[in-house]
Amino acid sequence: MPANEPKRTRDPFRNMSNDAARVKYTSNASAKPAKSKHKGLDARVLTASVAISHLSGDDEQREAYERIHADGSSVITSMFAQNDIEQTAAVTALRALNLEAAQLEETGSRWSVRWSNTIEKSGLKCVLYQCQCGYDHTLHSSKTRQTPWPFTGCLAHVEVTYWVTTGQVLRIRAYSEHNTACSEASLLRRPNVPLHPSVFDVALRQLQLGASLTEIQEQNRRMFAQRLYPDQPADLAESAYRWLILRHDTRTLYRRHAHLNGIDVAERAEINIDEWLDPTSPKHNKVLSGAIFHYSARATRGDRFEVCIANHDMQEAAWRYAHGRQLILDGTFGVCNARILVFIAMAIDEENKGVPIAFLLFSAPAGNKLSSSGYDTAILTRLLVAWNRALGTRNGEAFKPRVAMTDTDFKERAALLVPWPELWELICRFHLRQCWRNHRAIGLKGDVPGIADVRMRLQDLEVALVETTHYPDAQELVRAERRRLQARRSSEQAAARKGLVHLDYLEGYWLKEELWQSWSDYGRQRAATPSGRGGGDNCGLACAW
């Protein structure tokens, strides 16, 4: 018999004394009997098909799942009322399937959860279990099989629906026929010893409070050493659990944390977000939706995913700290495993600290190979205009910052001038000097005679240029340094030529008067009066992003 052919086994419900627990339905059974016995339930809960799309398997297995549920004769469906007799029968049924809670906690359990769904309206939770011998790790691009049981193409799976508040079972739908290879299979390796639930509970509470992974691990070691966890035995040999968090536990920890916050980790991120923001979705998140002032889903390949965030407190901070004052805008990427860019708008509060007032998130365009360059002036303009529109007016006056600080990316500068044409723009000095330093480091490589002195003089020149308050003075500083380089003796001509290339770069690009005004002391002195603040460079706050 082929390994993936099911072997007929005994009906696990055969010896039950409670006939109600053996009510057998096909996949197209009428919901009427269920309605009379389980009043108040939505008929859709009782008539919904088993979510076989969530079962793992190759094409042959998936076709078999479809045939099994289309025929229905091999799937045993049992309904249980909320009384002691039938709930005892439900426990007996779960025990026969090795799905009782204690059996699932055993290290040799064959079952794994493939999907679950909580139906908040009715207070029910549906869990779909699959035999681990039916899971093919190669379908998920995994070279090493972590599951302790071998893959045999087994088709066994069970769906259990129960009341969340009481844990009482409403329904079991089981295809319990393990194939021959599965029934005869032995463990490939010793199963992983699970981490005790109380360790997860403490770690999850820490995550909710914003603790880092390092802090969680330190707390875990401290509590373990002092035996502070509930049920932690003095002799670990008597425990079926681990008590120390290992590296591979972090995935489970973060997935549980996501689940606590209403994030379906089995679903794509963009689908989760769309459901949270869709007023017609049962997963609609009013708090998050209220903080979003712009959202655009990526419906086709040419679209961008766009979502912009500014909750009530952030909007209040924008009016309090950025209206008529200074706005800081900077972008970053690599914030997650998706190709998402984030631009952060900030203001400076009374304590000279940065306060985020808007987050502009969007995806890189299709085909873009470098996420950091996946934007242009157009998309920044669109999002900044949307933000300005969302801020509205107060006392008949529109939101209008006087000064903006950016890095050396001129796409940001051009976009800012669309909603606020009178904005005075400054360039962050950290980014400016970094830009100059990178050009100098590339151009003045080597150890030719006089190169060290040329490097030092150019560094001093850059400092002097930043401190200028009159444009002619800045021009004269460069001309004077050019004359000095040209007058170098013949043995230092190679170093002088390298230095002249850097001067050409400074003079030809950065020393244009309009640009000079944005990075010199002149620009900061001019910005100090309309912004109502000192002329100091708050760049350190922007650069910490």
* Residue 527 resides in a domain: no
For residue range 190-230, what is the model confidence (pLDDT) as tens digits? 777 888 999 999 999 999 999 999 999 999 999 999 999 99
> In terms of domains, do 295 and 401 share one?
yes
The pLDDT score that the predictor gives to residue 466 is 95
Separation CA 233–CA 225 (nearest Å) = 12
> In terms of domains, do 157 and 28 share one?
yes
Q: Which residue has the higher pLDDT, 29 or 257?
A: 257
The pLDDT score that the predictor gives to residue 537 is 47
For residue range 274-320, what is the model confidence (pLDDT) as tens digits? 889 999 988 888 999 999 999 998 777 777 889 999 999 999 999 99
> In terms of domains, do 408 and 435 share one?
no
Residue 502: its H or E element = helix 493-505
> In terms of domains, do 484 and 463 share one?
yes
The pLDDT score that the predictor gives to residue 189 is 74
* Domain extent at residue 229: 197-260
> In terms of domains, do 326 and 459 share one?
no
Residues 506 and 468: beta-carbon distance below 8 Å: no
> In terms of domains, do 470 and 399 share one?
no
Separation CA 210–CA 303 (nearest Å) = 34
Q: Is the pLDDT of residue 426 over 50?
A: yes
* Residue 249 resides in a domain: yes
Question: pLDDT > 70: what percent of the chain?
Answer: 87
> In terms of domains, do 210 and 72 share one?
no
* Residue 14 resides in a domain: no
Q: Is the pLDDT of residue 343 over 50?
A: yes
> In terms of domains, do 166 and 218 share one?
no
Q: Is the pLDDT of residue 344 over 60?
A: yes
Tokens for 521, please give them: 């002391």
The pLDDT score that the predictor gives to residue 7 is 42
* pTM reported for the whole predicted model: 0.62
* Residue 139 resides in a domain: yes
SS3 474: helix
* Residue 66 resides in a domain: yes
Residue with tokens 């069970």: 158
* Residue 505 resides in a domain: yes
Number of domains within the chain: 4
The pLDDT score that the predictor gives to residue 368 is 60
> In terms of domains, do 356 and 343 share one?
yes
* Residue 524 resides in a domain: no
> In terms of domains, do 240 and 359 share one?
no
Q: Is the pLDDT of residue 30 over 60?
A: no
The pLDDT score that the predictor gives to residue 372 is 54
- Beta strands 292-296 and 169-175 are unpaired
Which long-range CB contacts under 8 A does 503-507 form with residues at least 24 apart? Answer: 503/458, 503/478, 505/439, 505/443, 506/436, 506/461, 506/462, 506/465, 506/478, 507/475, 507/478
The closest alpha carbon to 372, from 345, 343, 333, belongs to 333
Average pLDDT, the chain: 84
> In terms of domains, do 29 and 164 share one?
yes
Separation CA 310–CA 378 (nearest Å) = 21
Separation CA 1–CA 177 (nearest Å) = 14
Cα–Cα distances (Å) from 86 to 40, 104, 126, 253, in that order, read 19, 21, 19, 35
The pLDDT score that the predictor gives to residue 367 is 58
What is the number of residues in the chain? 545
Maximum average pLDDT range among 317-321, 337-341, 529-533: 317-321
For residue range 32-43, what is the model confidence (pLDDT) as tens digits? 333 434 554 666
> In terms of domains, do 507 and 449 share one?
yes
Residue after which a domain boundary falls, among 115, 150, 183: 183
The pLDDT score that the predictor gives to residue 529 is 72
The pLDDT score that the predictor gives to residue 253 is 92
Residue after which a domain boundary falls, among 361, 396, 425: 425
Question: pLDDT > 90: what percent of the chain?
Answer: 56
**Among the residues of 506-544, which ranges form H helices?**
513-519, 521-531, 539-543
* Residue 292 resides in a domain: yes
Work out the average pLDDT over 324-343: 86
Q: Is the pLDDT of residue 137 over 80?
A: yes
For residue range 156-197, what is the model confidence (pLDDT) as tens digits? 999 999 998 889 999 999 999 999 999 998 888 777 788 899
Residue after which a domain boundary falls, among 260, 275, 308: 260
The pLDDT score that the predictor gives to residue 200 is 94
